[in-house]
A and B are shown apart, each in its own frame.
Chain A
Amino acid sequence: MDVIPISPETVIRVTNLGYTYPDGTRALSEVNLLVRRGETVAVMGPNGAGKSTLALHFNGILTATEGKVEVMDLEVNKKNMREVRDIVGLVFQDPDDQLFSPTVREDVAFGPLNQRLSPEQVDHSVSRALHWVGMDGAEKRSPHHMSFGEKKRISLATVLAMDPAILVLDEPVANLDPRGRRTFLELISILDATKIIVTHDLEMARELCDRVVLMDRGKVVADGRPAATLSDVGMLEKHGLI
């Protein structure tokens, strides 16, 4: 295929990415993807399509064994890990995986402290991130005793506190009640980072995204505007989305 040069407008470039899990399951093959600055991209597909595996490649939790992933102009590898993780924030699906500290404050401060910010800057990042997610003053509470919706928002804050230019969200609204879902979507929509949202929620993709990348069995099967991609009933049916 033609190699498209990375332009200032391109923030993520995935080239011929393949990944096989240690047990031999083929999770990704020949994945090509370009994400431009400021875009909101939905990565959709049925369970087991390789969406989450792809998301884990964006900030080097998994590193490419075939092909490569570039963020801004950095290849995602061991050497560039720290910088890549400053640029790309990853919000996991289950907030209990994300939150591990006795208090909210410590959880939200975890990323900024790893960025070696000064105590004043850390405090500032924490209160700013909590403000963004509408959880001002929750610093001293214990994440475990919060409702699922609150935990979800704190998880987002733990990543926003690092001020990432690119935000990757894995199933951001799964298991949220309708009101929780709506407030969470509003929250995401006003953030001005480049966003990659892994989901099988068609509604959300329509409301929130500029672009839909459809995956099935480790491959990208469609890539286009939500209006076009999501109205192709035959294709949605074929790939288990309706």
Chain B
Amino acid sequence: MRHDFIDRYSRLESPVHALDPRAKSIALFAIIIACVTTPPTVWWPFAIYAGMVLIIANASHLPMRYLLTRMLVVLPFIVIVAVFVPFMRGVGPTYDLGIFSVTKGGLLVLWNVAVKALISVSCLILLSSTTQFADLMHGFERLHVPRFFTTVSAFMYRYIFIIIDEAERMKRARDSRNFHGRWLWQTKVIGYMIASLFLRSQERAERVYQAMAARGFDGTFPRWTEIHMRAADYVFVIMVTATAVAGRLAVLWT
């Protein structure tokens, strides 16, 4: 079984892939922070943020189709908000849409959620799709993200596949004995499966730790690949961060 959905395109070659993971992290998080703090009543700063995202996406050589499908993850959240729009009463005129009506305030909430979620998620997709996971964690470490976080993430990345495989095998063994999850009482079976998956993961963790200890692991991850900030990385960080901050601050004077 192949699972490489997390960083499938991270080994492509493009100007964005070549950037230092720290440069990408700082710049993209700058866009996210500027974006989520911008009031939804002005639209043009979002055009700036989205424009930057599009430029980076274009330079990254990632297939558009892939980016768009990955962005679908935010859809459920937007739909949930959209469902409640007719019930929101707020400032501004009311628009009658036959069986229900929406207010300008309600639509503003929807716009706010949708635009911020889409821009933020596309930043994260760009970051994770243009950086190999190990480099990304290394970059985070160098940016003083707590080691606990990076270590746990690195293990999650490595073992999520094994847990998926394990769950898949359990599911097959269950289905081959004619299980159809239709009846309510069968939820018990699913409960058992989750519990045993948890136990297996726990035992696995124990054995992995033993194998690591056997090779002299004392709690700190050794590193020997180095990442380097070059001129291009600084230029990228400064340009993107400055544009994002400028966009955000300009709102204050309008």
CB-contact partner of A100 in B208, B214, B218, under 8 A: B208
CB-contact partner of A102 in B133, B162, B210, B222, under 8 A: B133
- A69 → chain B, closest Cβ, in Å? 14
In the bound assembly, the distance between CA atoms of A180 and B139 in angstroms comes to 39
- The interface residues of chain A lying within 8 Å CB-to-CB of B224 are 109, 113, 119, 122-123
Determine whether the beta carbon of A114 is less than 8 Å from that of B158: no
* A223 sits at the interface (CB 8 A): no
- The interface residues of chain A lying within 8 Å CB-to-CB of B133 are 102
Determine whether the beta carbon of A144 is less than 8 Å from that of B161: yes
* A39 sits at the interface (CB 8 A): no
In the complex, the chain B residue whose C-beta lies closest to that of A59 is B214
- The interface residues of chain B lying within 8 Å CB-to-CB of A145 are 2, 4
In the bound assembly, the distance between CA atoms of A101 and B155 in angstroms comes to 8
- Of A97, A103, A115, A122, chain B has the most CB atoms within 10 Å of the CB of A97
A141-165: which have CB < 8 Å to B?
Answer: 142, 144-145, 158-159, 162
* A96 sits at the interface (CB 8 A): yes
- The interface residues of chain A lying within 8 Å CB-to-CB of B162 are 96, 144
- B218 → chain A, closest Cβ, in Å? 7
In the bound assembly, the distance between CA atoms of A109 and B134 in angstroms comes to 14
* B149 sits at the interface (CB 8 A): no
Count residues on chain A whose CB falls below 8 Å from chain B CBs. 34
- The interface residues of chain A lying within 8 Å CB-to-CB of B217 are 110, 114
Determine whether the beta carbon of B215 is less than 8 Å from that of A159: yes
Contacts across chains A and B counted by CB atoms under 8 Å: 79
In the bound assembly, the distance between CA atoms of A61 and B206 in angstroms comes to 11
In the bound assembly, the distance between CA atoms of A100 and B154 in angstroms comes to 9
In the complex, the chain B residue whose C-beta lies closest to that of A168 is B214
B173-219: which have CB < 8 Å to A?
Answer: 204, 207-208, 210-218
* A98 sits at the interface (CB 8 A): yes
In the bound assembly, the distance between CA atoms of A202 and B94 in angstroms comes to 83
- B203 → chain A, closest Cβ, in Å? 10
In the bound assembly, the distance between CA atoms of A82 and B215 in angstroms comes to 9
In the bound assembly, the distance between CA atoms of A111 and B157 in angstroms comes to 20
In the bound assembly, the distance between CA atoms of A144 and B208 in angstroms comes to 14
> Given A96-B162, A102-B158, A144-B158, are A113 and B222 neighbors across the interface (CB < 8 Å)?
yes
- The interface residues of chain B lying within 8 Å CB-to-CB of A109 are 222, 224
- Of B161, B214, B218, chain A has the most CB atoms within 10 Å of the CB of B214
Scoring B residues 120 to 149 as 1 if CB is less than 8 Å from chain A, else 0, what string do you get?
A: 000000000000111000000000000000
In the bound assembly, the distance between CA atoms of A162 and B132 in angstroms comes to 27
- Of A89, A90, A144, chain B has the most CB atoms within 10 Å of the CB of A144
- A85 → chain B, closest Cβ, in Å? 5
Scoring B residues 1 to 33 as 1 if CB is less than 8 Å from chain A, else 0, what string do you get?
A: 011100000000000000000000000000000
* A94 sits at the interface (CB 8 A): yes
- B170 → chain A, closest Cβ, in Å? 16
- A119 → chain B, closest Cβ, in Å? 5
- The interface residues of chain B lying within 8 Å CB-to-CB of A106 are 134
Task: List residues of A whose CB falls within 8 A of some B CB.
Answer: 56, 59, 61, 82, 85-86, 89-90, 92, 94, 96-98, 100-103, 106, 109-111, 113-116, 119, 122-123, 142, 144-145, 158-159, 162
15 further A-B contacts with Cβ under 8 Å, apart from A61-B210, A109-B222, A114-B222, are: A56-B210, A59-B214, A85-B213, A89-B215, A90-B214, A100-B155, A111-B215, A114-B218, A119-B224, A142-B4, A144-B3, A144-B158, A144-B161, A145-B4, A159-B215
